[in-house]
Chain A
């Protein structure tokens, strides 16, 4: 069946929403992992039925779940629920939950300016490899990048990032010091982009051995030096697979673009009613068409004027049009979080986003009109669209 599967992570479980290509009628399953915070659920580009989920709890820590049948059944990788026996040899079970920093973790900057030890808290983002079924990357809090090459049965830190000499200057944003964006270059397998709140964007060109900050052109007024090399609160970066040199960024404030793989950035906030926000995404077939959801401010996390509006630029920024049809235009005070927007690759392109009020909205016409797919889920943390063929 040609269609779309939405993988939705919420504060109280995961939900899977499936539709045919018309994207009018949706089947909803869930909650999976009921009662747990599901920060992110994402499928493999190699096999869309291979799906990874980050299940987390302040009480019971981090759990990684995997499905090999499109989300019908789940297990902790390497530790099937049906086989809880003590292993006689080989890989210790339960390692899929184990995220341990490489070497002595060291310290980063705390809210009060003092140094604070690096402490693993949770996985914010899972990014399956573009080419290898069993390879998946994890962006974690406190900020670090991990990789698994055995289908998430075990994890190893790619510590060149955290051990960058600016590491002691990184500091947590209001949501924690999280590595939330991982972009894999589809052309150059040695190139990866990541973003950290509040350190900024980084790039490796040698397969994650070494990294460099790519924050030239960013300006953050809350910092003592607004143009410092690190310390910027980057909220999200997006890249169209056909143009891996071009990046779009939603920063704490400001929409930015880079056409040189992050070496330099230019502000393209243009006529937006507010350039604060969290998600940013790109039309599947038009690499200069981008979407954001403006939020009033960093202290008032809701849409300006109580109107939920997606803004679309068909010019790669600067010129924005508001998209309101089907979205609430009064008394709306939800937020849309950084991983809670996604696009499908059908024609016309579908675009989806989830809110902290528990609504998931979808548009089957590139944003021209919207309809709620579900209205009353727990607060939505992430939305990923899979195009099924």
Chain B
């Protein structure tokens, strides 16, 4: 079980609480998590990754175990604590703008 923490606006959009739980299967990577997240909550498609390019939107950041993994390649395995569900995979809106 993977835990994913979403920012306020995406929680509202998906109608969920602070965290959602996913069972993506296989090696846990950003792409695997986001594919599973969008499959379970299709209203989030396009809000984290661009619809056309599948790239992370510029003002969205990813954190795992206290580390900013936003610039990791999407198929790089995430830390074991995220894969085990001990730590959440955190999706965050960048602190920018007003």
Chain A positions near chain B (C-beta within 8 angstroms): 34-36, 57-63, 76, 79, 81, 84-87, 92-95, 97-101, 120
Do residues A61 and B57 form an inter-chain contact, with CB atoms below 8 A?
A: yes
Q: A36-B9, A98-B46, A100-B51 are in contact. Are A59 and B40 (CB under 8 A)?
A: no
Question: How many of chain B's residues have a CB under 8 angstroms from any CB in A?
Answer: 29
Name the prevailing secondary structure of the A interface residues: loop
Q: Which residues of B contact A59 (CB under 8 A)?
A: 7, 9, 57, 59-60, 93-94
Contact of B97 with A58 in the complex, beta carbons under 8 Å: yes
A93:B42 contact, CB within 8 angstroms = yes
Interface presence of B41 (CB below 8 A): yes
Do the beta carbons of A97 and B40 come within 8 Å of each other?
no
Query: Bound state CA distance, A95 and B51, in angstroms?
Result: 9
Give the residues in chain A near B42, CB-CB below 8 Å.
79, 84, 86-87, 92-94
Cβ–Cβ < 8 Å partners of A86 in chain B:
39-40, 42
A76 touches B59 (CB 8 A): no
Which B residues fall within an 8 A CB radius of A? 7-10, 12-15, 38-48, 50-52, 57, 59-60, 93-94, 96-97
A36 and B43 CA atoms in complex are apart in Å by: 15
Partner of B47, one of A35, A63, A100: A63
Q: Count of A-B contacts with CB under 8 A?
A: 74
Contact partners of A63 in chain B: CB under 8 A: 13, 43, 46-47
The smallest beta-carbon distance between A34 and chain B, in angstroms, is: 8
Residue in A closest to B92 when the chains form the complex, CB atoms: A59
**In the complex, residue of chain A having the shortest beta-carbon distance to the beta carbon of B61:** A59
Partner of A100, one of B38, B48, B52, B93: B52
The complex places the Cα of A99 from the Cα of B52 at a distance, in Å, of 8
Return the contact of B52 from the options A60, A79, A81, A120 (Cβ within 8 A): A120
Q: Are B51 and A99 in contact (CB under 8 A)?
A: yes
- A84 & B38 in contact (Cβ 8 Å cutoff): no
Do the beta carbons of A94 and B15 come within 8 Å of each other?
no
| A63-B43, A86-B42, A99-B51 known, 20 other contacts, Cβ within 8 Å | A36-B9, A57-B9, A58-B59, A58-B97, A60-B13, A60-B48, A60-B60, A62-B46, A76-B43, A79-B42, A79-B43, A81-B15, A87-B42, A92-B42, A93-B43, A93-B45, A97-B43, A97-B51, A98-B45, A100-B52
Determine the distance from Cα of A87 to Cα of B9 in the docked complex, in whole angstroms. Answer: 24
B9 touches A94 (CB 8 A): no
Contacts A35-B8, A84-B15 given; does A61 touch B46 at CB 8 Å: yes
Residues in B with CB closer than 8 Å to A57 are 9
| Contacting residues, chain A, for B38 (C-beta < 8 A) | 94
